Amino acid sequence: AQSVTQLDSQVPVFEEAPVELRCNYSSSVSVYLFWYVQYPNQGLQLLLKYLSGSTLVKGINGFEAEFNKSQTSFHLRKPSVHISDTAEYFCAVSGGGYQKVTFGIGTKLQVIP
Amino acid sequence: ETGVTQTPRHLVMGMTNKKSLKCEQHLGHNAMYWYKQSAKKPLELMFVYSLEERVENNSVPSRFSPECPNSSHLFLHLHTLQPEDSALYLCASSLQGKGEGEKLFFGSGTQLSVL
């Protein structure tokens, strides 16, 4: 079994400030980890993914995430946010196979001008 | 443009109506999915179609009926829905067996309201 916990349902942050969105997971097998972003009135879009190799993963729009196996975390970070980053962010874990993708509940990032 | 197109974008239906949601992917993928997105809940996987098999979530009521005539098209047939079925229904596709760890490509969704 696998699960994803996103501890923060909403994160307000001022424009140009750094942000971290937290994600913890549990799984009994090796995992693939993802962050997806959903802008208003749109579907989800892949932001970045960790499959193997370097634990620091860089994605689109200046986001990055670090895989920490000992802490079972995959936190998403951006050093300076922009208004256009206002969206909902979903962490997901997959143990392989289509039926094993599990999503977190989502974190709404609100960038304040 | 993500390569996955869903129609209609919005749908309002009564509990006695029959309607269908349509999804089309132009990415050459071999798997397609229906997800349900409700407020304050994780995305719920409803159905999966791949070349090999169909996977059905046991908790999906029979008033939802999927159809996958080919690898590019996916339908979700709806009948006698309940108000609690109101949600955003997302279609997704992926390329299985290529070591991508199930990277999903989503459509923009159909916002369904059941009156």
Minimal CA separation from A15 to chain B, in Å: 26
Predicted local confidence at residue B103, as pLDDT: 81
CATH class of A3-112: mainly beta
Local confidence band at A81 (pLDDT 50, 70, 90 cut-offs): very high
Predicted local confidence at residue A98, as pLDDT: 57
Q: With left for phi above 0 and alpha for psi between -120 and 50, is residue B58 left, alpha or beta?
A: alpha
Host H or E run for residue A26: strand A24-27
Predicted local confidence at residue A96, as pLDDT: 63
Minimal CA separation from A84 to chain B, in Å: 18
Instruction: Convert the pLDDT of each residue in A5-51 to its tens digit.
Output: 999 999 999 999 999 999 999 887 778 899 999 998 889 999 999 98
- Each domain of chain A, given as residue ranges in start order, spans 3-112
**Overall average pLDDT of the B75-80 stretch:** 95
Strands (E), chain B: 4-7, 10-13, 18-25, 31-37, 44-50, 54-56, 64-70, 73-79, 87-94, 105-106, 110-114
Instruction: Find the chain A residues whose C-beta atoms sit closer than 8 A to any C-beta of B.
Output: 4, 9, 32, 34, 36, 41-46, 49, 51, 90, 94, 96-106
B99 and chain A in contact, CB less than 8 A: yes
pLDDT, chain B, mean: 88
Q: Which of A70-74, A100-104, B55-59, B108-112 has the lowest mean pLDDT?
A: B55-59
